[in-house]
Structure 1
Amino acid sequence: MKFIVDDKIPYIQGALEPFGEVIYLPGSKTTADVVRDADAIVTRTRTICNEKLLKGSSVKFIATATIGFDHIDTNYCAEAGIQWTNAPGCNSKSVEQYVASTLFVLAEKHQFKLEGKTIGVVGVGQVGSKVARFCETIGMKVLLNDPPRARAEGPGKFVSLTEIQEKADFISIHVPLNMDGEDATYHLADERFFNHLPQKSFVINSCRGEVVESSAAKQALKNSKIKGLVLDCWENEPNLDPELLDACELATPHIAGYSKDGKANGTSMSVQAISRFFGLGVDNWTCPNIELPERTKITLDGFSSTDEEIIAKAILSTYDIRNDDVALRRHPADFEILRGDYPVRREFPIFTIEAENMQKSAIEKLKQIGFQIKSKE
């Protein structure tokens, strides 16, 4: 058997070698000639898996170690008899961490409290659900918008996008990229969207770049239709619009889901799917030896601090979005390098908080977020 694997997928080396030849290549180097005699491709969003790549090949299975799969031409794969899989929810906790850091950085910069503020979560899948739950934990009012779920489950807990536009202080977008149809999300945030934001919300996009229309976003910022824009995903990336980059409140190189935990989950799910499809017998394979950050213990003294202040310190101790923002602004041309060489980031459960002088309410919230808690003697 022959496997073509994106060389930026972590922890996968050694997993497939017992079963055949494994070729590791950059996503941009995965061409039709390369995959012609391959049995499977393990990829990320940078490889467009369509007829141009796959026609005439022996590829039987594609595994993308990502939540999104808009880089896979699913219609062509169906016609060609090629099976495929993605990794739904693999990095959902990582994106939750990203949004949490974003909210606390904005609150610090603009000197307001998050408690009592309203956030609209657009797209309430595995990622959006975790973002919503986090925001509820810290005392925010949460509005949910997800038309497919509303149709399937009833409208009870969902609201219209219009209601979110009218009421939300923050709008966080977590939708797949659908180019057309009833649930089209291409340019969901267009000129009309930005012009109907009476609250002048902060808008956060950490799903797909094409969901936000760049020209409309720039105009909205220029005309103060919104308070600020936070972009992790960009139209035409890695070729960023420098004017939009300069105008953003916070800007990062498509790394919201780039915790080591999220990457490891995507890798494990891909290997397991390949094992099931080809009958390799490693259906429960998981990534070994995930790197740890320099420290996994956080000492927090809650004396005279509010719950929100304590949680902010905890969140920003695990991940501070400002570091990624600075790195991208310094070297926007290094977009792909910043992604490919992304430093170690781990999710909340890997961290233990040594708590001192802390109210039970704060401890309970930290536990709900996922931290381990150890009270100092």
Structure 2
Amino acid sequence: MKSKLNIVADAHIWSVQSAFSTLPGHDVNLQVLENRQITAERVRDADILLTRSATRVNADLLQSSRVRFAATATIGDDHYDKAWLDAQGIAWANAAGSSTGSVLEYMMAALLDLHQQGRINIPQSAIGIIGAGRIGGALAELCTSLGMKVLLNDPPRARQEGDDQFCSLDEVLMQADILTIHTPLIRSGEDNTVHLLSDRELQAFSGVGIINAARGSCVDSAALCDWLDQGDGRFAVMDCWEDEPKPLARLIKHAGMAIATPHIAGHSVEGKAANTQSVYNALCKYLEIKPAWDMHAVLPDFPAVVELSAGDDMWHTLHAAVSALYPISDDHAAMQSWADLLPDDLALAFVAYRRNYPARRSWQHAPLSISDADSQTLQMADAIGIKIV
């Protein structure tokens, strides 16, 4: 006899009905709700809760419920009160690492766009990567393949592994042309990352560019504005914002804001599918059942082969190739168009864009043809994951 299982799930988890409406050995009652509908009353009789980042999972939500497993289909889990969940014996999971490929593609698109804008020269630039976990470590390899000098800063890893491959933050601030953050959000202790880049760090930074595709609160928005005000070719690339979904409008429309996007770095179709797969697998492990759902069975087909002709400049050709697969400038233009909205209207636009994000396919699998490309261009395209046919 199948056991009954009540699941409450956020409607914006990718393919939520396909993944969770049936589970081996269970009679599933799946309620799919908008975030604002996920209340203490609605989850009272739930056994399983599946969310995204907008739902705060804590005592206020769950203390009167029978939820025994909660999972977020996002990399970050700072919206979960993990200490309280652990104390209550409620199992929990996140989708850490599942959309790494999507974020890496975002970073490659951003760097190539910055090169195209004339803000950086990729092979002549030193990039400081703060946080050398899954994303930061993989990004270091990609940047090395682009010919960049890479400086890694990761105090927890440095303490465990030694200092040989790591730099102090002060060393990175002095030597890097570009800083990019790939840390979790840690609110206390020696590895606190809240305002990791504040006025002190920014004024000590000798380079020209700041990139944040990690957590919004890692960068002090007001301090970043003040730093950008000093000019001298300074720029920022922001995907994660302090006080989302109401980021500082002054920062969005600053002349130094080279690329502004509404927290969509991990939002490729494959990235969102991988988030669902991660949560599904975690739930199956908790229930001690064999997974039966595979995201690859429900991923949409790829569009036709994208055909391009190589130009005289390798970097221009690579930028054209990446832009054909992911035009990051479209996301930037959308966010720039909201900069003069009132804060509440800006928040609505921010959330709506993420929820209705245009389908963006991972270029690791998207077929692309570049005619007349030389071997160096093809090798570089392969190094950053572009599939040439």
Name the TM tier (shorter chain): over 0.9
**5 Å matches for 1:195-344?**
195-199=203-207, 201-224=208-231, 227-247=234-254, 248-282=257-291, 285-286=294-295, 288-292=297-301, 294-295=303-304, 297-302=305-310, 304-306=312-314, 308-331=315-338, 332-333=346-347, 334-344=349-359
Q: Which amino acid aligns with 1:187?
A: H
- Which residue matches 2:342? none
Q: Among 148, 157, 176, which residue is 1:149 paired with?
A: 157
CA contact (8 A) 2:35 2:54 kept: yes
Distance 1:277 1:302, change over 3 A: same
Mark the runs of 5 or more structure 2 residues left unpaired by the alignment.
339-345
Q: Which amino acid aligns with 1:279?
A: E
Cα deviation 1:197-245 (Å, max 9, x = unaligned): 122x210101111111112112112233871111111111111221121
**Counterpart Cα distance in 2 of 1:39 and 1:55:** 13
- Which residue matches 2:375? 360
- State the 1:357 CA deviation: 2.5
Give TM-score scaled by structure 1 length. 0.93
**Counterpart Cα distance in 2 of 1:226 and 1:76:** 46
- State the 1:71 CA deviation: 0.8
- State the 1:351 CA deviation: 2.0
**Counterpart Cα distance in 2 of 1:228 and 1:221:** 7
Q: Among 5, 9, 12, which residue is 2:13 paired with?
A: 9
SS at match of 1:37: coil
SS at match of 1:78: helix
- State the 1:292 CA deviation: 4.7
CA contact (8 A) 2:213 2:239 kept: yes
- Which residue matches 2:114? 106
CA contact (8 A) 2:119 2:233 kept: no
**Counterpart Cα distance in 2 of 1:106 and 1:132:** 18
**Counterpart Cα distance in 2 of 1:225 and 1:44:** 40
CA contact (8 A) 1:93 1:130 kept: no
Q: Among 133, 139, 143, which residue is 2:147 paired with?
A: 139
**Counterpart Cα distance in 2 of 1:293 and 1:251:** 27
1:47 maps to 2:62: no
Distance 1:78 1:283, change over 3 A: farther
Q: Which amino acid aligns with 2:31?
A: I
**Counterpart Cα distance in 2 of 1:14 and 1:284:** 8
- State the 1:192 CA deviation: 0.6
The root-mean-square deviation of aligned C-alpha atoms, in Å, is: 1.8
**5 Å matches for 1:69-88?**
69-88=77-96
CA contact (8 A) 2:126 2:176 kept: yes
CA contact (8 A) 2:310 2:317 kept: yes
- State the 1:302 CA deviation: 3.2
**Counterpart Cα distance in 2 of 1:298 and 1:106:** 23
How many aligned positions are there?
371
- Which residue matches 1:346? 361
Query: Once structures 1 and 2 are overlaid, which stretch shifts more, 256-265 or 190-199?
Result: 190-199
**Counterpart Cα distance in 2 of 1:107 and 1:343:** 25
Cα deviation 1:45-77 (Å, max 9, x = unaligned): 111111111112111111111111111111001
**Counterpart Cα distance in 2 of 1:193 and 1:224:** 17
SS at match of 1:204: strand
**Counterpart Cα distance in 1 of 2:302 and 2:263:** 20
- State the 1:111 CA deviation: 5.8
- Which residue matches 2:35? 27
Q: Which amino acid aligns with 2:99?
A: N
**Counterpart Cα distance in 1 of 2:375 and 2:116:** 24
- Which residue matches 1:190? 198
Mark the runs of 5 or more structure 1 residues left unpaired by the alignment.
none
SS at match of 1:134: helix
CA contact (8 A) 2:19 2:293 kept: no
SS at match of 1:14: helix
CA contact (8 A) 1:122 1:145 kept: yes
- Which residue matches 1:171? 179
- State the 1:249 CA deviation: 2.4
Cα deviation 1:173-193 (Å, max 9, x = unaligned): 111000001111011011111
- Which residue matches 2:123? 115
**Counterpart Cα distance in 1 of 2:153 and 2:186:** 16
CA contact (8 A) 2:108 2:384 kept: no
Distance 1:46 1:225, change over 3 A: farther
SS at match of 2:364: helix
Q: Which amino acid aligns with 1:3?
A: I
Query: Once structures 1 and 2 are overlaid, which stretch shifts more, 30-39 or 257-266?
Result: 30-39
